[in-house]
Homo-oligomer: A and B are copies of this chain.
């Protein structure tokens, strides 16, 4: 691929012009008024894919926003890569904090400034241009499918059904995604894990009405005190979650992988300073990156009960509530964990209160084994362009559709992202450095080349 660098160099301005055309469509999925823009964006993606060399590309309806699907099938004996990306973007509020209009992209200081510049228009568009290079130079040794959806920023509510209905169309050997980031411009990164999630609301009822805390205080259990006590019991002094069976399915990560993870740049002082905390707290025996990457968590996301207004009202309240969530790791099943928590939390309720637990939401964790051929292909591609092996990182966040792909299609995803933390995705002044954009376009063709060779 000696001509790759040159191809990019010669087409730099055209790539930017085409990306800007896509960015100018304000395809905000969470705002109903932008529904027509979702169709415009889907049409633009259709054009992008056809122009780049796809055999076909079509706009397909869902119960929500449309999906653009395109493909180039060269040879059934070749491995098939499906590129997943999204055409929708986050809202732009607070608009007054933007230094330039969010949907009028411009380059300043070597960065593209616009909503979607990184997430995910810029990153998904790199795939179209890498694909274009491979098609035009006749070096593509994989079949390629593109699945570009319009509801990622609102949790992909209609994509699972779309996958169920188009299993055959979406059949592939691996899914390649650029919707994550790199630790630093010179530290290529592959996200190998995403945490799952379980989320509950609990209600603790003491007396049947709010009581006078003087007349009853000391003689009748206070549901807030009890809830505080129950929450406290859920995590022991080592930061270990006490729900029986909670860790049964947690995959212990190998010493080798932990050693690799430990190479990720991390400065505890900077981390604490950025959060303005004097100390960190988490499960004993694990580093910060491990605590968020390979270990489950237990957080109260919200709590309320009794008098919360101005001043001092003495009351022994009838009820106390909390919203509680656990981030989960492979192979914890969110439905099983939801049940384990419910049973345990109810079982530790003292007989002087009544407790109700409702499961509100959940999603599976995802992990990409680092010995997967597709991982190796991505690793080698990064090494070729950046001159060093990428760091495999486990992100603490969740992209629910990735585990859904595995469940429904039975296909693993490789998350090779080129964003940077400074890209301010979801925030004002979202940006994407030109260097990241062009490096991404340069890296992706090597992935196809390596994957074709490793799949032989």
Judge whether B218 and A313 touch: CB under 8 Å.
Answer: no
Judge whether B208 and A292 touch: CB under 8 Å.
Answer: no
List the B residue with the shortest CB-CB distance to A425.
B212
Judge whether B312 and A325 touch: CB under 8 Å.
Answer: yes
Judge whether B309 and A91 touch: CB under 8 Å.
Answer: yes
Judge whether B218 and A396 touch: CB under 8 Å.
Answer: yes
Q: Which of A303-332 contact B (CB under 8 A)?
A: 303-317, 320-323, 325, 327
Q: Give the bracket for the number of chain A residues in contact with chain B.
A: 35 or more
| A225-B300, A313-B30 known; A219+B305 contact, CB < 8 A | no
Among A93, A225, A350, residue most surrounded by chain B Cβ atoms (within 10 Å): A225
| A221-B277, A311-B154 known; A323+B300 contact, CB < 8 A | no
Judge whether B327 and A217 touch: CB under 8 Å.
Answer: yes
> A288 interface residue, CB < 8 Å from B?
yes
List the B residue with the shortest CB-CB distance to A319.
B94
A31–B155 alpha-carbon span in the complex (Å): 41
A284–B302 alpha-carbon span in the complex (Å): 32
Q: Which of A273-314 contact B (CB under 8 A)?
A: 275-283, 288-289, 291-292, 295-314
Q: A307 contacts which chain B residues (CB < 8 A)? A: 91, 93, 301-302, 323
Judge whether A426 and B277 touch: CB under 8 Å.
Answer: no
> A100 interface residue, CB < 8 Å from B?
no
Q: A424 contacts which chain B residues (CB < 8 A)? A: 209
> A427 interface residue, CB < 8 Å from B?
yes
Q: A227 contacts which chain B residues (CB < 8 A)? A: 228
The 10 A-B residue pairs whose C-beta atoms are closest, nearest first, are A214-B397, A218-B297, A302-B306, A221-B281, A217-B297, A208-B276, A224-B300, A228-B228, A207-B275, A30-B311
